[in-house]
Amino acid sequence: MSRKTPCAVGVNLGHDGGAALVTPEVMIAIGEERLNRTRYSPGWQAALLYCLRTAGLRLDDIDLVVISNVGRNPAVPSAAGLSHLGVEEERILVLDHHLSHAYTAYCLGPYDVATVLVADGAGNRADTETFYLAGPGGIERLGSNDHNRGRYGGIGATYEAFTEHLGWHPQEAGKTMALAAYGDPTAYLAPLFDLHDTRVYGRLESTHARGVAALAATTGFDFGPPDSRGDHPRGIDAAAYLQDQVEQVLCALIQAVVSAIGVSEVCMAGGVALNCVANDRIRRLPEVSGLFVPPPASDRGQALGNALYGLHQLTGELPRRPLTVDSFGRSYSDEEIELALNRDPRSGLVERRFVPFTWRRESDIAARAAQMLADGRLVGWFQGGSELGPRALGNRSILADPRGTAGRDALNDRIKHREPFRPFAPAVLAADASRWFDLDGPSPFMLLAPVVRYGARSRIPGVVHVDGTARVQTVNPAASPRFAALIENFGALTGVPVVLNTSFNDREPIVETPADALATFQASDLDALCLGEYLVEKL
C-alpha cells in the first residue's frame, strides 16, 4: 500500500475492545477477544497489530489514531497507552462515544441522508439516546438524553439492569430478549419509561440489578428471585414486560425523532440496536421508509466508527462504505490452513483436546457440506474474513439442518451448551426469503426477527422461536457466493433453501484463525469442519 494513502486507526478502550484501520481503499477491523480468546476483552493491542499486518503497514504509516471510551469521563490520549508505542499525542484524537456509533451507522448504511439514532447503556457524557441528521456534508448532533441531569435508566441501561437481575452478564441482553417470548408482557401494568418529546426517562433508580430490586420494592412487583436465569415464571414475565416496554418506547422515540428531523430513512447503532425483535417492529412503522443497523452496532463497532471519523478528518470527505457483508477480518491462505491441519507450531494451534482426524481438499466444498447437512450432520464452516459483529453470517459459522429439531437440540446439548429457550437463526437465499418469512426486503445481518410464514413453520421447526418469529439472515450470491452455493445445494437436495446458522464457538469467543477452528472442532461434537476448500472429519 502506498504511504501517500491517508490512513486512520480507531481504538476502543472500553469493553468489547478492539481496533480498526481505514483508508480510502481498505477497511479492516477486529475485536481483541477474537485474538486473546477472552470474552468482552477491553484490550486493543493485539487487534491493532492484526490490522497493521493485514494492511501491510507500520505505526509510522498511521496519520491519525482516534480513541473513545465508555463512561462519564471522556477518554484522554495519555490513558490510551499509545505513547509507549511511539504514537505522539498530536496523532491522537478523542471522539465522543455516541458520535462514533453514529459514524458506523451512517457510513456503512445505504442512505444518502438519514436520521441516526444511537441508543446504548451510556456514552461519554452519560448520554443514553442521541439523535443526529446525517448526510454528505457531515453528521450533526441534534439532541440527546443526558442522565447526568435526570433519573437513571435510559433504554439500554434498563435492559442491562434487568439482564443482570436475571443472572447474566449485562452484555448478554440477547438472552433476555429470547426469554421474553415465553412470558406475559401484561403481568406488570406500570410503564417502565416516560417519553417527553424526544427525551426518554426510565423509572429505575440504578443502572444495575439493584435498580430492579428497588422498583420491585416501590411497586410491589415480583420480578422473580435474582439470578433465576429463566427458571422462574416471574422472571420470565419480567423479561417479557421489559421487552414489550422497550419496543413501545423505541417505536415512540423513532416516531418523535423522525417527525422532528423530517427524514424517514433511519440508521440505528448502539447496543440497543441489536434487539432484532424491536427492529422488526420499527421497520414496520408508517413513519419509517427504511431501516439500517450495522452488524457491529454495539461497542464491537466502536473502533470502526472511530477510524471512519479519523478518515473524515484526514480527507475532508465523509467516507461512505455501504455494507453487503460483515467481513472485516483477514482471509487465510491455503498454506496457513494446511499449517493448522498439519499441527505445525507456526499455526498458533493450542490443543485443548486432540482427536484424530483426516482432511482432504474438496473440488466443491459447498456441495459436500450441503450433503452432510441433509444427512443430519453438524458442520463447522470457516470461510473468508471474520465477522466483526456478534452474529456469525456464513464466515465463522456452525451449520445444521433446520427441517427438524434434532439438529437444534444436538447443538444446544453437545456443542453450544446454551439455555434451551434461546433460538437458532435461519440463513435463507435472498430470492426465496419472502416465501418463508414475512419480509419485504433484505436482512443480511440477522438484525430483524420477522414472523415465519404459517405454512413454512412445520418445514423448518429448528429455527422457529416459540412466538413464531426467526432472526433471519438473507444471503445474496453476489455478496457471499460460497455460502449461497451451499444453501442452494441444500435446497436442491431437500426442497428447503434454508439452513440453521449459529456462531462457530462454544462458550469462548467466535473462532478467528484456522487453528482456532480446528481446536474448537476437536474439543466439540461437531461432525465435520469445512476450512476453506478443505474437509476435516474425525476418525
CATH assignment at residue 44 = 3.30.420.40
Tell me whether residue 326 is in a domain: no
109 in any annotated domain: no
In terms of domains, do 285 and 307 share one? Answer: no
In this structure, the answer to whether residues 363 and 459 fall within a common structural domain is: yes
Predicted model pTM? 0.95
Average of per-residue pLDDT values in the chain = 93
Backbone angles phi, psi at 199, to 5 degrees: -110, 130
516 shares a domain with 409: yes
> In angstroms, what CA-CA distances link 249 with 120, 147, 242, 282, 284?
14, 17, 11, 11, 15
Domain shared by 57 and 171, yes or no: no
Q: Return the CATH number at 437.
A: 3.90.870.20
Range of the domain at 274: 155-293
Dihedrals phi, psi of 65, to nearest 5 degrees: -115, 125
Q: In this structure, are 403 and 526 located in the same domain? A: yes
Q: Is the dihedral of CA 177, 199, 279, 107 positive or negative?
A: negative
- Residue 481 makes CB contacts below 8 A (sequence gap 6+) with none
Shared domain check, 399 and 273: no
Same domain, 517 and 378: yes
Q: Which of 418, 415, 395, 412 shows the shortest CA–CA distance to 521?
A: 415
Task: Provide the terminal-to-terminal Cα distance of the chain, rounded to the nearest Å.
Answer: 44
Band (pLDDT 50/70/90 cuts) for residue 193 is very high
Is 210's pLDDT higher than 60?
A: yes
In a domain, 392, yes or no: yes
100 vs 116: CA distance, rounded Å: 12
Q: For residue 77, is pLDDT > 70?
A: no
Task: Note the pLDDT of residue 1.
Answer: 45
Q: Tell me: the pLDDT tens digits for 292-337?
A: 999 999 999 999 999 999 999 999 999 999 999 999 999 999 999 9
Bridge partners of 94, per DSSP, are: 67
- Residue 351: per-residue pLDDT: 66
Are 472 and 430 found together in one domain? yes
User: Which stretches of 182-296 are DSSP H helices?
Assistant: 209-219, 233-261, 276-283
Statement: residue 179 has pLDDT above 50: yes
Integer Cα distance of 20 and 370 in angstroms: 34
- Residue whose C-alpha is closest to residue 469's, from 451, 484, 488: 451
pLDDT score at 70: 62
**Domain for residue 243, yes or no?**
yes
pLDDT band at 84; cut points 50, 70, 90: confident
Any domain includes 329: no
Q: Answer yes or no: is pLDDT of 413 > 70.
A: yes
More confident residue, 14 or 465: 465
For residues 251 and 176, membership in a common domain is answered with: yes
Residue 138 lies in a domain: no
Task: Examine the domain organization and report whether 238 and 267 are in the same domain.
Answer: yes
**Number of folded domains that form the chain:** 3
* Alpha-carbon distances, residue 273 vs 102, 187, 192, 267, 392 (angstroms): 12, 25, 19, 9, 17
- CB within 8 Å of 168: residues ≥ 6 apart: 175, 176, 229
Position 78 scores a pLDDT of: 54
DSSP 324-338: SS---S----HHHHH
Same domain, 478 and 381: yes
Per-residue cell: 174: 440477547
pLDDT over 80 (residue 36): yes
Per-residue pLDDT at 23 exceeds 50: yes
Q: Is 118 helix (H, G, I), strand (E, B) or coil?
A: strand
- What local confidence, expressed as pLDDT, does residue 359 receive? 97
C-alpha cell recorded at residue 481: 457466493
H/E element holding 435? helix 433-436
Tell me what the mean pLDDT of segment 5-24 comes to: 93
Measured CA distances, 405 to 270, 400, 412, 456, 496 (Å): 33, 10, 11, 14, 15
Q: What percent of the chain has a predicted confidence (pLDDT) above 70?
A: 95
377 and 470 belong to one structural domain: yes
Residue 26 pLDDT > 60, yes or no?
yes
What contacts 218, CB < 8 A, 6 or more positions away?
none
Lowest-confidence region among 368-372, 496-500, 522-526: 522-526
Least confident segment among 205-214, 383-392, 463-472 = 205-214
In a domain, 83, yes or no: yes
* CA distances for 88 relative to 48, 97, 302, angstroms: 16, 22, 22
Q: Are strands 64-68 and 92-94 parallel, antiparallel or unpaired?
A: parallel
Is the pLDDT reported for residue 72 higher than 70? Answer: no
pLDDT at 251 over 70: yes
Look at residue 501 and tell me if it is in a domain.
Answer: yes
